[in-house]
Chain A
Amino acid sequence: GAVVSQHPSRVICKSGTSVKIECRSLDFQATTMFWYRQFPKQSLMLMATSNEGSKATYEQGVEKDKFLINHASLTLSTLTVTSAHPEDSSFYICSARDWTRGVGEQFFGPGTRLTVL
């Protein structure tokens, strides 16, 4: 199946710093990638839809200036959490859609655990 990687897998940072998370589709081109946030024992909440070469579309309530998304190539999207605070601590998961498979199935990365001290 299609493989999606994320880097880093875990990150601990101080409050006020910025953290960049990378999402890569390793063996297919992804025109669309999704970013999710998941708090402990909760479901995945869609944060934004990232389209290659254009601005991301953010879900209601997600601050675009705080969660910067860049989808510069067909295999890479990045999420930057700016001026992170403890309440931003969460599990961030990306997914990528492979249109060649026809049904728009999305493939998930392994997630990035962010802890803000």
Chain B
Amino acid sequence: GESVGLHLPTLSVQEGDNSIINCAYSNSASDYFIWYKQESGKGPQFIIDIRSNMDKRQGQRVTVLLNKTVKHLSLQIAATQPGDSAVYFCAETPYNFNKFYFGSGTKLNVKP
């Protein structure tokens, strides 16, 4: 499959701080990128997505940045809360959404 990887396997932050989770992808033809949150023993949960024709998209407390030049994706979580503790995956898919490829994941630990 395509290669989608992450720089940091584990990230520990203090409650209230901002978190930044990074992801690198290799397929320049990828058109759609998604961030998922997965809690232990559960399926992934959609957080935010971005199309390749955008470089930034904001949601509630979350922002995704896309740098197509260096094939880099990041997820920013503002005012991180204990409930944000989970594993975060990026995923990418080409324009026809036929396949979704996941990165290796980053575990976010939020310290109270």
Contact = CB atoms under 8 A, between A and B. Distances in A.
Contact of B89 (A1, A43, A104): A43
A109 B41 CA distance: 11
B104 to A, nearest CB: 5
B98 A49 contact: yes
A107 to B, nearest CB: 7
A36 B99 CA distance: 11
B58 interface: no
B99 A46 contact: yes
A92 B66 CA distance: 30
A71 interface: no
A81 interface: no
Interface residues of B, number: 23
Size bin of chain A's contact surface: 20 to 34
B100 A59 contact: no
B75 to A, nearest CB: 15
Contacts of A44: 44, 89, 102
A24 interface: no
A26 to B, nearest CB: 14
Contacts of B42: 110-111
Interface in B45-83: 45-46, 49, 51
Nearest to A1: B46
Contacts of B98: 49
A59 B102 CA distance: 14
B104 A105 contact: no
Nearest to B96: A104
Given A42-B104, A108-B45, 20 more contacts: A1-B46, A6-B43, A36-B102, A43-B89, A43-B104, A43-B105, A44-B44, A44-B89, A46-B100, A46-B101, A49-B98, A93-B44, A95-B100, A105-B49, A106-B100, A108-B36, A108-B43, A109-B43, A111-B41, A111-B43
